[in-house]
């Protein structure tokens, strides 16, 4: 029988294992073992889900990502912003997008829950013109139900 240690597993297998865990378990794994830390950290930060209202969780994440020497912001690939129902289409979701769009240079995907608005696309364009979102390749597109509104906005 062949015995393998954790460090001998290919990173893809480590990632596959960690992707099946919830965020609380990933946080614990980051602090449990040095060899688990990189894979757990990458899985934890890969997809970030935020509330547009900018609550305590968003403030803590922003402060963490801005900390000197913290490279976690480089791991974030996908950003999902959920506006509060009463805020749908208001400025808070775009402030959140501006902050995290500028902080995370490796974003490939951005989604804002709800129909994309003119302000959403203008915010993405502004970030791009400032030199951010260079790796972005997937954003919200108008759904069939909002395509008429989208066409009118253009």
Task: Give the percent of the chain with pLDDT over 70.
Answer: 82
Q: How far apart are CA 55 and CA 85, in angstroms?
A: 15
pLDDT of residue 84: 60
Q: How far apart are CA 58 and CA 51, in angstroms?
A: 7
Check residue 82 and report its DSSP letter. E
CB 92 within 8 A of CB 61: no
Instruction: Please count the other Cβ atoms lying within 10 Å of the Cβ belonging to residue 35.
Output: 13
Mean of pLDDT values over 71-100:
76
**87 has a pLDDT exceeding 60:** no
Q: What would the pLDDT profile of 125-134 be if each residue is shown by its tens digit?
A: 999 999 999 9
Residue 59 to residues 21, 104, 123, Cα–Cα distance (Å): 24, 15, 20
pLDDT of residue 130: 95
Given pLDDT bands bounded at 50, 70 and 90, which one contains residue 86? very low
Given pLDDT bands bounded at 50, 70 and 90, which one contains residue 18? confident
**69 has a pLDDT exceeding 80:** yes
Check residue 71 and report its DSSP letter. -
Which is nearest to 141 in space by CA: 153, 132, 150?
150
Q: Which residue has the higher pLDDT, 92 or 138?
A: 138
Mean of pLDDT values over 107-118:
84
Residue 51: which H helix or E strand, with range? strand 47-51
**152 has a pLDDT exceeding 60:** no
Given pLDDT bands bounded at 50, 70 and 90, which one contains residue 102? very high
CA-only gyration radius of the chain, Å: 18
Q: Which residues pair with 139 in a beta bridge?
A: 110
Out of 40-44, 118-122, 141-145, least confident range: 141-145
């Amino acid at each position: 029988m062949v015995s393998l240690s954790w460090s001998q597993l290919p990173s893809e297998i480590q990632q596959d294992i960690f992707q099946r865990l919830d965020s609380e378990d990933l946080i614990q794994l980051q602090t449990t073992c040095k060899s688990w830390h990189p894979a757990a950290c990458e899985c934890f930060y890969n997809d970030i889900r935020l509330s547009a209202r900018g609550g305590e969780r968003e403030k803590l994440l922003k402060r963490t990502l801005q900390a000197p020497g913290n490279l976690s912001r480089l791991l974030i690939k996908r950003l999902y912003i959920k506006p509060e129902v009463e805020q749908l289409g208001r400025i808070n979701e775009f402030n959140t997008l501006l902050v995290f769009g500028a902080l995370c240079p490796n974003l490939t995907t951005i989604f804002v829950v709800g129909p994309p608005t003119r302000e959403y696309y203008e915010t993405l364009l502004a970030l791009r013109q400032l030199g951010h979102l260079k790796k972005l390749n997937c954003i919200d597109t108008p759904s069939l139900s909002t395509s008429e509104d989208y066409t009118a906005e253009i």
